[in-house]
A = this chain, B = another copy of it.
Amino acid sequence: MTVISTGPVGTGSGTCHDPDRRPLRRDAERNRQKVMAAAQALFAERGLEVSLDDIARRAGVGVGTVYRRFPSREALIEELFEDSLRELIADAQAAARAPDGWTGFAGFLSRACERFAADRGLREVSLSTAHGSDRCALGRQGLKPAVEVLVARAAAQGRLRDDVVALDVPVLLGMVLHVAGFARDEDPQLWRRYLQLLLDGLRAQRRRPTPLPREALDEDAVERVMSCGRSCG
């Protein structure tokens, strides 16, 4: 994970096809949008592995149309996640400028989890190198320096325990999002409870625990969650 760029990445248009090629025919462009919307939705809820056939079906379009427009799944992914990734980086940078170091740090974790919890695809693009390529890789790397600042400031302030490092952050996010992933049908916000627990553990010192947001799942909910096989990895 070498730092290559810290600034914004790519163009951010998100709508046009290719600046210097002649525009698509109207129906083609329409279908292209439908495909992107469908992919966006499916990636968000089922992850990046969904089949292109599924995307086509959801878009109400033939498979051919998908393949014609996007040479590969990667192309589709890059097209879709560039903006989200940039927003995430912006979050981190904003948090790094927050007046209070700890608030910035904790706030970013929370914000990042919100984004990730709502979009499994984004989670996979950000937390794994296995998907997306060039532009996504740049995005991932742009995140790093901002997170380092967050950790450094919170630690310097004496509020974050000093044995935590920036590279713990992706792991911590992974833990919280694991909860977000498997409990999303029962309580899509449940992860907040466990994030708070972690944050209390990350504090340099504290007397009393911060009250936990959300209730724990009840027996039936746990039972239901356990029965759909998402609870382990």
Contacts and interface: CB of A to CB of B under 8 A. Distances in A.
Contacts of A167: 216-219, 222
Interface string A125-140: 0011111000000000
Contacts of A223: 1, 129
Given A124-B232, A227-B128, A205 B202 contact: no
Contacts of A196: 201
A20 interface: no
Interface string A154-180: 000000010111011011101111110
A124 B200 CA distance: 29
Given A175-B194, A201-B200, A222 B130 contact: no
Q: How many copies does the complex hold?
A: 2
Interface of A: 1-2, 47, 120, 123-124, 127-131, 161, 163-165, 167-168, 170-172, 174-179, 181-183, 190, 193-194, 196-209, 211-212, 216-219, 222-223, 226-233
